[in-house]
Amino acid sequence: METNTQSEHVHLLIIGSGPAGYTAAIYAARANLKPVLYQGIQPGGQLTITTEVENYPGYPEGIQGPEMMVDFEKQATRMGADIRFGMATKVDLSKQPFTVIIDEEKTITADALIIATGASAKWLGLPSEQRLNGSGVSACAVCDGFFFRGKEVAIVGAGDTAAEEALYLSKLCSNVHMIVRRHEMRASKVMQDRVLKASNIMVYWNSETDEVLGENKVEAVRLVNNQTNVKTEIPVSAFFVAIGHQPNSGIFNGQLEMDEQGYIKTVPGTSKTNIEGVFACGDVQDKIYRQAVTAAGSGCMAALDAERYLSAKEHH
């Protein structure tokens, strides 16, 4: 990597700032590892685009996602973590210390690295979907379904996640309109059977979302049948997008082991990657649970793993 004037060596570098990154910073700072954390493109992560969080233990009244992330950040700062604005744009994990370029200009070398870069929900790309995001449009049925109890909702997607979320919504909502682009689902047979057996899930085959309708909140969704071009409007109070997540792992391509979807592989029961001294936590390595509380738990694991690694290294 090119050398430049702005370079700095740190003991432990944390990249990413959702519940995983901030929890790792809290633990690492308390262990006196003097962690430096770069917040990335979306400080606070996916929770900053969630409105109310009701399922995180310890907040009996619920809390706004962005507010909760400010609390996490304040706690990490109070413990002594050095929290900075900036994004990792390039990494070299081939030798120690590891090299990370921030914002394409600053070089950081680190004895240990914790990756908490998270994942991003995939969206359809409709302007109305972004405009009403948080006002009835959501990419997480488990997070937000509760707010639409007894109401009609729509969900788009055809994989296992979409099927699971449709079933989850069917237990809360009066009717679930499921929009499937092809004449079949990608979900496993058992999930498809459950969806098709649910009396209040209506599946619209060969259908695509033309537009989410509503001025200040979701009021309806307009579908178009991609075989007949016939358009249909369905009145709904919420529109859930379940077409998958994309782990933010691109800068580690070719250096860290990943699965076919790009999730970083960790040794089961740990946060260890295939490179000694590099740890991964949160949604960048978890495609199953993807909750704030599990991300925070894995951030704690990463900090403890990093602490053990660094102290063993010092004693050698």
Catalytically annotated residues:
140, 143-144
| Tokens, residue 299 | 């951030």
| Sheet containing 231-235, strands listed edge to edge, beginning at the edge strand earlier in sequence | 207-213, 220-225, 231-235
Largest Cα separation within the chain, whole Å, is 71
Question: Pairing between strand 106-115 and 98-102?
Answer: antiparallel
Residues forming beta bridges with residue 154, ordered by sequence position: 177, 239
Cβ–Cβ under 8 Å, residues 37 and 14? yes
Q: Where are the beta strands (DSSP E) in 134-241?
A: 137-138, 152-156, 175-179, 201-204, 207-213, 220-225, 231-235, 238-241
Residue 268: cis peptide before it, omega within 30 degrees of 0: no
What is the H or E stretch that residue 315 is in?
A: helix 292-315
Task: Give 76's DSSP letter.
Answer: H
The whole-angstrom distance between residue 200's C-alpha and the CA centroid of its chain comes to: 29
